[in-house]
Amino acid sequence: MHHGGGGGGAIRVLNVAEKPSVAKSVAEILSRPSGGMRSREGRSRYNRVFEFDYSIGGRACHMLVTSVTGHLMELEFDDRFRRWHSCDPADLFHAPVRKSVPQDKQDIKRTLEEEARKCQWLLLWLDCDREGENIAYEVIDICAGANSRLNIWRARFSALIDREIHEAVQHLDRPNKLFADAVDARQEIDLRIGASFTRFQTMLLKDAFVLDDTGDDRNIILSYGPCQFPTLGFIVERFWEIQAHEPEEFWTINCSHTSDEGTASFGWIRGHLFDYSSAVVIYEMCVEEPMATVQNVRNQEKLKYPPYPLSTIELQKRASRYFRMSSEHTMKVAEELYQAGFISYPRTETDNFSPNTDLHSIVHEQVAHPNWGTYAQRLLDPEARLWRNPSNGGHDDKAHPPIHPTKFSAGETNWTDNHKKLYELVVRHFLACCSQPAVGAETTVEIDIAGEQFNASGRVVLAKNYLDVYRFDSWGGTLLPTYIIGQQFVPTTLTLDSGMTRPPPLLAEADLLGCMDKAGIGTDATMHDHIKKLLDRCYATKDANTRFSPTNLGEALVMGYDEMGYELWKPYLRSMMEADMKSVSIGTKSKSEVLENCLQQMKACFLDARANKVKLFDAMGTFFARSSRPVNETQNSIETVRPCAACNESEMFLKQRPTGEFMVGCRGFPQCRNVVWLPRSLSGAAVTDQVCPTCAPGPVYKIQFKFRRRDIPPNFDVDHLGCIGGCDDILKELMELSRFGSHSQTATPARNQSQTASGVRQGSSRQDLHTSFHPAVQFTNGQTPVVNPQGFRSTHTQSSGNASGQVQCTSCREPCVLRTANTEANRGRKFYKCQNLACGFFAWEDDVENSAPRGRGGRGRRGRSSSRQSSESASAGRRGGTQGRGRRGRGRNADGMMFVAATGEPVYGSCFICGDPTHFANVCPNLGR
């Protein structure tokens, strides 16, 4: 290998490790031959810089060793998409993302930049797996940005011991960009899928239900992860299997025979029968002819093989099974043992040793141990014939060897019991896999009673071999009496026994890890994180025997997706993603190709899931009570729009009421009653990070509006980024053309009411903030819209009839046509409508028939003098008085005149042009003056 650069003097080499402890270990090992290591602080007090001289390939080098703390960069959406309500969650599948150094790691970045400017080489000591390679390229990005002339090298090692570290630095390699790309693809896929589904689930369900499983359900995040949910799926599926199990009674025949040599228990070769009558008939045959005849006796040697070399998944499974240690804690302890140099790198898929590994020297280091040292000595003794080269488990990640001990210890003073247990497991496992299998003699005896076959087995262990050191395995057996073919005897006991079928047990952690491994969910280094996430999110619980049960919340979410017919909780989608990551890492697929295909598929799943969200609601309703809490009232859902121009003390924030309506109100309510009611035609609204450059007082944040297509003309887009400050002409038109009610206006204007700079009326009553009418669900009236000063559109007219029963339009004075409503609330109900399409007159047939004749004009006798009474009537209706708020309710003014929406809902208010409560602006005689 040729190492270039540096000129004639010593090459300055910047060495970067993944953690401060690893940097210190590498520096101590490399500086030991020459001595003279110096240490100084970097910009980050936790990431020191170690300096010493060293020789690489015969070249004099001045080594500077420092570290990062795991990933140096984070992948995030652009700022305008990071706030939860800033966009439609579906947009996150293609929203711009960027990788940058977060604020808490800026000091580490500055250290790298400053040191890189003074060096010729960059030598990377990151963990030798995909994740480590990705971190390596983050470091390269920072250092090469400060010094583009750096010669970049990669050290590959698996243990923090002298031999490995010196070997790695003398055989340098180049970084693997394909490994880094695979992690980039996985990070982006997980970010987009996780963020979109998490926002969707949380905003849809959190405020709609009382989520008592979680304690403080107001701050809960209902997260979704493409690995997390399939892991939950395994738990729920086993739970459902247990619930669906119906115990069934069965019958079996058992017999035993006692002789001078002991007792043999014979089992029925049929196992058991579920039909009682059949079992009784066979049993009676055996009782009538009980003589047993020995038909066969088999004696054979059996071997119990030692385990394969230890991989990460096996370490987690065995620590869970033997010590009841969680997978997360197992990895934490293993990482600490690795960083202290006692075991090899604990994240590996490899379960076979390279032929070049000096296994004997590893065993030799353990000879002095008080517990297993004697066994290690026997293992090395050729005359004992105990040695056997480890079996090949068939997996090799090409990065690290199996987990094995790298340094002798009889137990360090700072070790916990779990450190001791895990170190013991690693050592005993290694010694076992280098040992001969246990040898046993197994005897099987088959007998016949009245034509029915029975058998019994016994085993004697002849040589324990690896079982002597691997105390976690057992291989017992019973010794059978001696039998010969043709021998006859009468059984000592012959019984017909009953039993019940049992459901499978809940999944234990070792079994769950096995399911994940088999399905390709996560990597060996991340599986424990997915399991911990389920517990942290209260989707599952774990008992003292490490067995998992889903919580109501976890089961409801899986049930909802299952009812939709999607397999978002199944492992297939994720296992395909993991296979794609593997393809990227070996170069058979490109990162962009994998990203495009995967995100396209998952966005389609997301859109389908959202379209069928009622299934998720139904599933949640099976387990949880509906909440009376207003939707989007939680702390996380409040989105500030602008400072309040009325009180100059609080902020205006976007809020969605349980009825689905949107408003922008002052946080200072009820002291400040400033409010802007947004159109009822909105299906969604979210505050963005974009600030309006013109409106004041600011900042005024723009809102991403989404209108229902059916409620706006076709020449307008349903998506509009608008400003409520008064500068947005498009929004004004959309508000003018949308169907919604004037929440802030009262029949008689309150004293001292005034308009704010943005045209919003103040002084509304408390009821104004929480009461609204329901406008027409379709654009049916067809009249030219008229807009009040707040931009609110009125589409409602009074009904009219004459003495002859002919209903005439109050505006056009023409006979009306009778039509039938097809809205959900009034399907089949008949109403009168003006023949002039430009007119908005409307009246229900049954209202006209039940009302007293009022003559041609239909205005009522009191005219405008009824304002005060009408206002009182409207107020009573808003307070839930005798007017009623039923789906078919009507509102009347003091004169008995009726104002209804197309849905039959009551309407309260007055004409904004002249103030008369007996009509609205579209039929005002002062219109156009």
The full 3-state SS of 157-212, as one line of letters, equals: CCCCCHHHHHHHHHCCECCCHHHHHHHHHHHHHHHHHHHHHHHHHHHHHCCCECCH
What six digits make up the tokens of 211? 């989520």
Q: Region 355-377: what's the mean pLDDT?
A: 93
> How many whole angstroms separate alpha carbon 686 and alpha carbon 85?
5
Q: Which stretch of 196-200, 537-541, 896-900 has the lowest confidence by average pLDDT?
A: 896-900
Reported as type and span, the H/E element at residue 97 is strand 97-100
pLDDT confidence tier of residue 795, bands split at 50, 70 and 90: very low
Instruction: Single out the residue of 564, 568, 536 nearest to residue 551, CA to CA.
Output: 536
CA distances from 273 to 75, 300, 455, 500, 803 (A): 60, 31, 17, 11, 87
Question: What pLDDT sits at residue 266?
Answer: 96
Top mean pLDDT of 344-353, 671-680, 802-811 is at: 344-353
The radius of gyration of the chain's CA atoms, rounded to the nearest angstrom, is 39
Task: Please give the Cα distance from 925 to 546 (Å, whole number).
Answer: 78
| Catalytic residue (one of 54, 345, 470, 561) | 345
DSSP 8-state secondary structure symbol assigned to residue 865: G
pLDDT of amino acid 691: 84
Band (171; pLDDT cuts 50, 70, 90): very high
pLDDT of residue 698: 79
pLDDT at 642: 86
Give the long-range contacts of residues 43-52, CB within 8 A, separation 24 or more: 43/107, 43/108, 43/110, 43/111, 43/114, 44/105, 44/107, 44/108, 44/111, 46/20, 47/20, 47/23, 47/107, 47/108, 47/111, 48/20, 48/23, 48/24, 49/111, 49/115, 50/23, 50/24, 52/27
Identify which of 15, 142, 13 has the alpha carbon closest to the alpha carbon of residue 73: 142
Domains of the chain: 11-175 (3.40.50.140), 185-244+513-623 (1.10.460.10), 249-305+444-456+474-500 (2.70.20.10), 312-436 (1.10.290.10), 640-727 (no CATH)
Q: 198: which residues sit within 8 A by CB, 6+ positions away?
A: 221, 222, 223, 224
pLDDT band, very low/low/confident/very high, at 237 (cuts 50, 70, 90): very high
What pLDDT, on a 0 to 100 scale, did the predictor assign at position 648?
Answer: 78
Residue 373: how many CB atoms within 10 A of its CB? 14
Q: Are strands 59-67 and 719-722 parallel, antiparallel or unpaired?
A: unpaired
pLDDT tens readout for residues 385-399: 999 999 998 888 777
Average pLDDT of span 526-536: 90
pLDDT at residue 849 in the model: 60
List the single range of 47-56, 352-361, 580-589, 732-741 with lowest mean pLDDT.
732-741
Q: Which position has the higher pLDDT, 882 or 181?
A: 181
CA distance linking residue 531 with residue 325, whole number of Å: 13
Distances (CA, A) of 322 to 334, 346, 420, 531: 15, 18, 13, 19
How confident is the model at residue 667, as a pLDDT? 73
Q: How far is CA 915 from CA 748, 756, 827, in A?
A: 7, 20, 34
Structure tokens that stand for 632 in this block: 């989007």
| DSSP state, residue 297 | E
Residue 580 has pLDDT above 70, yes or no: yes
CA dist., res. 684 & res. 682, Å (int): 5
The pLDDT tens digits of the residues spanning 754-772 come to 333 333 333 333 223 232 3
302, two tokens: 């059996």
Predicted pLDDT of residue 608: 87
Q: Are 712 and 683 in contact (CB under 8 A)?
A: no
Length of the chain: 929
Q: How far apart are CA 712 and CA 778, in angstroms?
A: 10
pLDDT per position as a tens digit, 245-288: 999 999 999 999 999 889 999 999 999 999 999 999 999 999 99
Closest CA to 334 of 310, 367, 308: 310
Closest to 369 measured CA to CA, from 335, 326, 420: 420
Strand-strand pairing, 639-643 and 548-550: unpaired
Question: Does 901 or 628 have the greater pLDDT score?
Answer: 628
What average pLDDT does range 527-532 have in this prediction? 90
Apex 783 CA angle, 777 and 786, nearest 5: 95
**Confidence (pLDDT) at 738:** 56
What was the pLDDT predicted at 852? 40
Q: Pseudo-torsion of CA 194, 195, 198, 199, nearest 10°?
A: -160
Q: Exposed (0-12), middle (13-18) or buried (19+): which is 75, by Cβ within 10 Å?
A: middle
Label residue 58 exposed, middle or buried (CB < 10 Å: 0-12, 13-18, 19+).
Answer: exposed
Q: Is the pLDDT of residue 797 over 70?
A: no
Q: Is 455 exposed, middle or buried (0-12, 13-18, 19+ CB in 10 A)?
A: middle
* Mean pLDDT of the 812-820 span: 75
**Contact between residue 528 and residue 327 where contact means Cβ atoms under 8 Å apart:** yes
Question: Would you list the DSSP string of 21-67?
Answer: HHHHHHHHHHHTTT---EEE--SSTTS-EEEEEEEETTEEEEEEEEE
Outline where DSSP puts E strands in 308-368: none
Amino acid identity, position 480: L
Task: Report the C-alpha gap between 688 and 719 in whole angstroms.
Answer: 13
- Residues with Cβ < 8 Å from 807, sequence gap 6 or more? 799, 800, 801, 815, 816, 832, 843, 848
Q: Identify the band that residue 925 occupies on the pLDDT scale cut at 50, 70 and 90.
A: low
Report the C-alpha gap between 324 and 646 in whole angstroms.
62
Note if 345 is an active site residue: yes
Reduced to 3 states (helix: H, G, I; strand: E, B; else coil), residue 827 is coil
pLDDT at 921 (0 to 100): 52
Cβ 692 vs Cβ 685: under 8 Å:
no
Least confident range from 52-66, 624-638, 682-696, 837-851: namely: 624-638
Is the pTM higher than 0.75?
Answer: no
Q: Is the link from the previous residue into 789 a cis peptide, with omega within 30 of 0?
A: no
- Residue 100, phi then psi, degrees to nearest 5: -150, 165
pLDDT of residue 905: 37
Average pLDDT, the chain: 80
Q: What average pLDDT does this structure show over 825-845?
A: 69
- State the pLDDT at residue 598: 92
Q: Which single residue is written with the structure tokens 């090899």? A: 344
Average pLDDT over residues 42-50: 91
Are the C-beta atoms of 839 and 785 separated by less than 8 Å? Answer: no
pLDDT number for residue 870: 35
Separation CA 418–CA 439 (nearest Å): 32
Query: Which residue in the block uniquely carries the two structure tokens 């039940």?
Result: 850
The SS3 of residue 918 is coil
DSSP state letter for 279: H
H-state helical runs in 352-462: 359-364, 373-380, 417-433
Does the pLDDT at position 199 exceed 50? yes
Q: What is the pLDDT of residue 823?
A: 58
The beta strand positions in 507-556, using DSSP E, are: 540-542, 548-550
Res 927: pLDDT: 57
Residue 541 forms beta bridges with which residues? 549
Per-residue pLDDT band for 211 (boundaries 50, 70, 90) equals confident
Question: What are the φ/ψ torsions at residue 747 (nearest 5 degrees)?
Answer: -60, -40
Token readout for 221 is 């995040």
Report yes or no: 568 and 609 within 8 Å, Cβ to Cβ. yes
**Per-residue pLDDT at 28 exceeds 80:** yes
**Could you give the CA distance from residue 13 to residue 651 in angstroms, rounded to a whole number?**
54
Greater pLDDT, 871 or 599: 599
C-alpha pair distances (Å), 544 with each of 324, 513, 547, 549: 8, 17, 7, 12
Rounded Cα–Cα distance for residues 218 and 583 (Å):
42
Minimum mean pLDDT range among 171-185, 400-414, 757-771: 757-771
Mean pLDDT of 841-847: 72
**Does 348 have pLDDT greater than 70?**
yes
